[in-house]
Amino acid sequence: MTARTFDAIIIGAGQAGTPLAGRLNAAGMSVALIERKLVGGTCVNTGCIPTKTMVASAYAAHLARRAADYGVTLSGPVGVDYAKIKARKDKVSGASRTGLETWIAGMDKCTLYRGHARFESANRVRVGDDLLTAGKIFLNTGGRASVPDLPGIHDIDYLTNSSMMDLDVLPRHLIVVGGSYVSLEFAQMFRRFGSDVTVIEKSARLTGREDEDVSATILSILENEGITVHVGADDIGFAKQGDDIAVTFSTGKPPAVGSHVLLALGRSLNTDDLGLDRAGVAVDKRGVVIVDDQLRTSVPGIWAMGDCNGKGAFTHTSYNDYEIVAANLLDNDPRKVSDRIEAYALYIDPPLGRCGMTEAAVKKSGRRALVGQRPMTRVGRAVEKGETQGFMKILVDADTRQILGCCVLGPGGDEAVHCVLDLMYAKAPVDTLARATHIHPTVSELLPTIAQELKPLV
């Protein structure tokens, strides 16, 4: 056994752990960075980077099939070489991971340990035969796909978001169980690659955390591309049917029979096998590490960042967690999680960009509010591109004129929403947006127009 003492131990080389290692190392601290799988975490290896690389390929195929709509003639039908799609994805993802590994290797006082970390006490962590001690320990352990114990689930070969990245054949018929963000990205992607796709969702509608008009538009987008969607599908079960898999559900419709099944039913946190009890770190019944507004756990000297603290399950929130921790530790800058405005995107095409409160949340708050909305059919840039599905909506406090939330579901929605998000961080009134002059022709140029056309929210 090798015993070593460091200034800091970071468990997990994800989107918070890796940059924190760089900051601590630059500050002269010795760091042990522990990773049991792949450097870069979910984002680099099985999440954002590889999936959005594949989304780009799917968009190219979709646009090529619509070439005639733009007056472009192709010599034959559009084909998809899935092996090349996967190779491109692997190259982009691999380059990102290699870049991180090279950066870590160049740090003077950072040692990368590959293995499973387990606490032995509040300041000691074991990794294989190595026993590491530090006065500061940071958790960035991420999560994994949840696999509920549904009837027949252990009798079939199923896929998760991670194993989908290793799939080297194009499914003939992909059945996606789950109707939220990850599932819908895969559903549209593989439909555009040429697979038949069926989505089965237990809830009454897709993307249940969104407003009903958003969910309805997303459903329309998917069905317009030939994706079969079943909602309100309770009592889901699985069974082999020859070489295929049958998925049963309680809507009175026949089972869905496909060649592959993707389970996209939420995430479980990687906190159940760290020995947190031996460190005295408090967690809730879901395994979420309980933290304060500066991401300190119940044990002095231990912090939790990223998915495991329940404060956000995105790359950008994980990275912001790193910024909050580093600012407090190194910069005498008292940043806190509660300053963060909720923002995220759904990467179907067209994408959804969301920030702040939903309309349902605003109504529930009981405040007087205003709303402005415009369909993409009345956005010149969307019409010019031939991509008119979706709409934009802004929500405003009627008394303070502060912007409460925004959604942009349409071409470039994941980018355009930042026009509003930045104003919310600046605490600027909606009138600042209304008087702004945006570039024409863009999707964003209609946001000031919407801000001039607000009506009472009823």
Radius of gyration for the chain, computed over Cα atoms and rounded to the nearest angstrom? 24
Ranges of each domain in the chain: 2-144+268-339, 153-265, 344-456
- Helix, strand and coil in the chain, % to nearest 5: 35, 25, 40
For residue 151, which of 230, 241, 228, 246 has the smallest C-alpha distance? 246
Tokens coding 154: 């252990």
Contact between 206 and 179 under an 8 Å Cβ cutoff? The reply is yes
Q: Sign of the C-alpha dihedral, residues 290, 292, 295, 297?
A: negative
User: What's the fold here for domain 2-144+268-339?
Assistant: FAD/NAD(P)-binding domain (3.50.50)
What CATH code would you report for 344-456?
A: 3.30.390.30
Sheet holding 196-200, edge to edge: 228-230, 196-200, 173-177, 260-263
- pLDDT value at residue 272: 94
Count CA within 13 A, CB hemisphere, residue 243: 4
Determine the pLDDT at residue 251. Answer: 80
CA-CA distance, 175 to 361, in Å (whole number)?
32
- Give the separation between CA 173 and CA 190, rounded to whole angstroms: 9
Using the structure block, give the residue that is written with the tokens 């018929």. Answer: 173
221 phi and psi, to 5 degrees?
-60, -45
Q: Which CATH architecture has domain 153-265?
A: 3-Layer(bba) Sandwich (3.50)
DSSP state of 166: T
Structural tokens at position 230? 């079943």
> What is the residue-level pLDDT of the chain in tens, covering all 458 positions?
799 999 999 999 999 999 999 999 999 999 999 999 999 999 999 999 999 999 999 999 999 999 999 999 999 999 999 999 999 999 999 999 999 999 999 999 999 999 999 999 999 999 999 999 999 999 999 999 999 999 999 999 999 999 999 999 999 999 999 999 999 999 999 999 999 999 999 999 999 999 999 999 999 999 999 999 999 999 999 999 999 999 999 988 899 999 999 999 999 999 999 999 999 999 999 999 999 999 999 999 999 999 999 999 899 999 999 999 999 999 999 999 999 999 999 999 999 999 999 999 999 999 999 999 999 999 999 999 999 999 999 999 999 999 999 999 999 999 999 999 999 999 999 999 999 999 999 999 999 999 999 999 99
Q: Which pLDDT value is given to residue 252?
A: 81
Question: What's the confidence (pLDDT) of residue 349?
Answer: 98
- Do 153-265 and 2-144+268-339 fall under one CATH topology? yes
- Please check whether residue 261 is in contact with residue 249, taking contact to mean a CB–CB distance below 8 angstroms: no
Predicted local distance difference test score (pLDDT) of residue 376 = 98
**Are 41 and 14 a contacting pair, CB within 8 Å?**
yes
Euclidean distance between the first and the last CA atom of the chain, given in angstroms as a whole number: 67
pTM for the whole structure? 0.95
Q: Which residues are catalytic?
A: 440
Token digits for 323? 């910024």
Give the Cα separation of 441 and 443 in Å (integer).
Answer: 7
Mutual angle of helices 17-26 and 82-105, in 10-degree steps: 20
Instruction: Return the beta strands (E) in 242-380 as ranges.
Output: 244-248, 256-258, 260-263, 267-269, 302-304, 343-346, 352-356, 369-375
